[in-house]
Structure 1
Amino acid sequence: MIPIIDTHLHLIYPDRFSYPWISGSHPLKGRWTIEDYWTEAKPLGIEAALHMEVDVDQADIEAETRFVLGQDGITGAIAACRPENPGFPMQLEALAAIPGVRGLRRILHEVPDSLSQTPHFAENLRRLPAHGLTFDLCLRPDQLPIGQALAAKCPDVTFILDHCGAQDITVGTLSPWRENIAAMAQMPNVVAKVSGIMAYAGRGWTLDAIRPYVEHIIESFGWDRVVWGSDHPVVTLGGSLTDWVTATRQIVSGASTDEQTKLFHANAKRIYRL
């Protein structure tokens, strides 16, 4: 069984941090701890994980980052950030100084498209390579051209496209996502993350329904520019962590051991400097 580095784990501790987007009867409301994650993850061959920021309240960003880096099996963290703010350079310096921070992310699929398209936003992202940091892109399918434009403005920044760029997918409808992914893959500084598909397909997903998304991502970006992520606990909206690991292994079972190794851990080590 080829070992896995999970590049997209969310931990949720509502007793410690504020998550404005989780309220009321939200299905992810509650505690999602590192102990519970490893209970299911380790038997699946997951050996280490990168923590992905959980869109905490802005005041909690640095505290969340420091906390998760102290948890068992966390090999690095992707911290939240606000490149649209005038104070971003100071925020970047503070986050980059925390040992274990490997990249940054600003959720873009729930903010106006214009937020990430200003000269100021791109200028701030161009500061990341000096600190050896990547930037995760979290976009809806209709925003893929916006992400491509941002990557073009920041050619020295390594972008990781979360969730195959396929949030809010309608299973069985590949266009224009397919064409936009092929265009995005032409950007040499963009990497794709095989994650999220099962959750966004909903509980009615089948292996045949999600297979075209994974296969098109790999075909477009190539085996050297893909990484794997669980998106736990968001993955539970479509099934279990076990379901997603099993599905992914089945979809790529025909690939060589070297190719699967790149997807499941080798590329993550190189791209995120683990």
Structure 2
Amino acid sequence: MNQLPNTSRRQFLATTSAALAAASVAPYALAEEAPKKKQLPIIDCHQHLWDLSKFKLPWIKEGTLLGRNYVMDDYNKAIEGTGISHAVYMEVDVDPSQQKMEVDHLSEICESKKTPTIAAVVSGRPAADDFTTYLDYFKDKSVIRGVRQVLHGGGTPGGYCLSKEFVRGIHALGERGLSFDLCMRPSDLGDGAKLATECKGTRFIVDHCGNADPKWFATAGEGKTSADGAKIEQWRSDLGKLARLPNVVCKISGIIASVPKEWSSDDLAPVINQCLEEFGPERVIVGSDWPVCLNGASLADWIKSLREIVASRPVAEQERLFSKNAIALYQLKL
């Protein structure tokens, strides 16, 4: 099965929870107290890659910013000077007929040890009748650490993730030591909390700060909208429900793609700080969401802004956010 040897579902969750709480990760030696001017290394937990000559991505529109190939050479250039040392690939919603191709392609990349990408979260449809058969396809590929199905697109209705078929599939992930990424509309985060409560044996990762829109918090002005109190309060409430569940982790990612044309770190700080406070230093990780982030800013500008926002936090907390939590969560060996 695709899990650590002789590790049960309960042991897997207990092991990762303990590791996250203690933040004591043997394979990755970081200084007890890094010098203030030293750039702490980052593990990018949300890296996209696609080659449109090999894969069909139905959501990509020709002629748009994202309507071209984004491959490893492009990523390597994008992370120069950012401090990103390793990456976890995130599925790109390939045509379902190509899901096994995605598994094989990413397994080859990760196992080569020639790129920053060392683990992968692949596409999957938990409610499908053959979902467990699909999971068995990569049961011996230890670099595959989780599955995602985007729940805010393709006409997916609210409540979809609470069907008995979907819940069955999520239980199957936990039994195999695999995680599930919650990428959903902010208004559906309550459904995510219900799912995580129902499936306590599965680890969940909330993508993109729960898809909060930084413009909700912006003050009125050129290129900005007024604060949206109702949406903010619902997001905060449902984010809090997720944060109270010990099997849920929050990924600080994605929100840069929605910034106003003129933006600063102040536009991102309310969302980021809320997530950090709700989940605490032990249950947060970082993702670039490259190249989708380019809709708002470069990968380098996103990382620079994130570093600015958390700069006043203790170095130990920054280390957990930037790398240690990811190592424990995904059981990475660097």
The bucket for the TM-score relative to the shorter chain is over 0.9
Question: Which residue does 1:78 correspond to in 2?
Answer: 121
Alpha carbons of structure 1 residues 160 and 240: separation in structure 2 relative to 1, 3 Å: same
1:162 aligns with 2:190: no
Residue matched to 2:48:
10
Shift of 1:156: 1.0
Matched, 1:120 2:158: no
Q: 1:180 to 1:89 in 2, by over 3 A?
A: same
Name the structure 1 match of 2:247: 189
Unmatched segments (≥5 aa) in structure 1? none
Residues 171, 201 of structure 1: 8 Å contact kept: no
Query: How many angstroms does 1:217 deviate by?
Result: 0.1
Shift, 1:131, TM fit: 1.7
- Decide which moves more: 122-131 or 247-256: 122-131
* Alignment match, 1:105: 148
> How far apart, CA to CA, are the structure 2 residues paired with 1:168 and 1:113?
19
Residue 89 of structure 2 corresponds to 51
Equivalent-residue separation in structure 2 for 1:169 and 1:64 (angstroms)? 32
CA deviations 1:68-127 (Å, max 9, x no partner) are: 333322110001101111111101111333231011111111112232111121111111
- Structure 1 position 193, deviation (Å): 0.1
The structure, 1 or 2, with the larger RCO (C-alpha pairs under 8 Å, 6+ apart) is 2
**Structure-2 separation of matches of 1:246 and 1:32:** 22
How far, CA to CA, are the matches of 1:95 and 1:221 in structure 2? 31
Task: Letter of the 2:107 partner, please give it.
Answer: L
Q: Does 1:142 align with 2:187?
A: yes
The answer for unaligned runs of 5 or more in structure 2 is 1-38, 110-114, 218-227
Q: Distance in 2 between matches of 1:25 and 1:113?
A: 31
The match for 2:297 is: 239
* 1:14-93 equivalences in 2 (<5 Å): 14-71=52-109, 72-93=115-136
The letter of the residue matching 2:145 is R
Alignment match, 1:261? 319
Equivalent position amino acid for 2:179 in 1: T
| Shift of residue 202, structure 1, vs aligned partner | 4.0
Q: Classify the secondary structure of the residue corresponding to 1:236.
A: helix
Q: Which moved more, 1:205-214 or 1:18-27?
A: 18-27
Using the alignment, how far apart are the partners of 2:59 and 2:197 within structure 1? 30
Q: Distance in 2 between matches of 1:92 and 1:115?
A: 21
1:167 Cα deviation from its structure 2 partner: 4.8
Cα 1:41–1:69 change in 2 (3 A) is farther
Q: Which stretch of structure 1 is more off in the superposition, 49-58 or 103-112? A: 103-112
Q: Tell me, what secondary structure is at the counterpart of 2:138?
A: helix
**Alignment pair present for 1:220 and 2:278:** yes
CA contact (8 A) 1:84 1:115 kept: no
How many angstroms does 1:25 deviate by? 3.3
Q: Distance in 2 between matches of 1:238 and 1:96?
A: 37
Contact 1:61 1:80 in 2 (8 A): yes
Is the Cα–Cα contact under 8 Å of residues 138 and 162 in structure 1 kept in the other structure?
yes
Q: Secondary structure at the match of 1:170?
A: helix
* 2: CA distance, partners of 1:234 / 1:4: 19
Tell me how large the CA RMSD over aligned residues is: 1.4
Structure 2 CA distance for aligned equivalents of residues 202 and 58 of structure 1: 34
Q: Does the aligned pair in 1 maintain the 2:214–2:267 contact within 8 Å?
A: no
- Measure the CA separation in 2 of the matches of 1:17 and 1:168: 30
Q: Percent identity?
A: 36
Q: What code does the residue aligned with 1:88 have? A: F
Q: Structure 1-normalised TM-score?
A: 0.96
State whether residues 203 and 237 of structure 1, in contact with CA within 8 Å, keep that contact through their aligned partners in structure 2.
no
After TM superposition, give the deviation of residue 152 of structure 1 in Å: 0.9
Greater C-alpha Rg: 2
Deviations 1:195-236 (A, max 9, x none): 011112243332111101000000000000000000000100
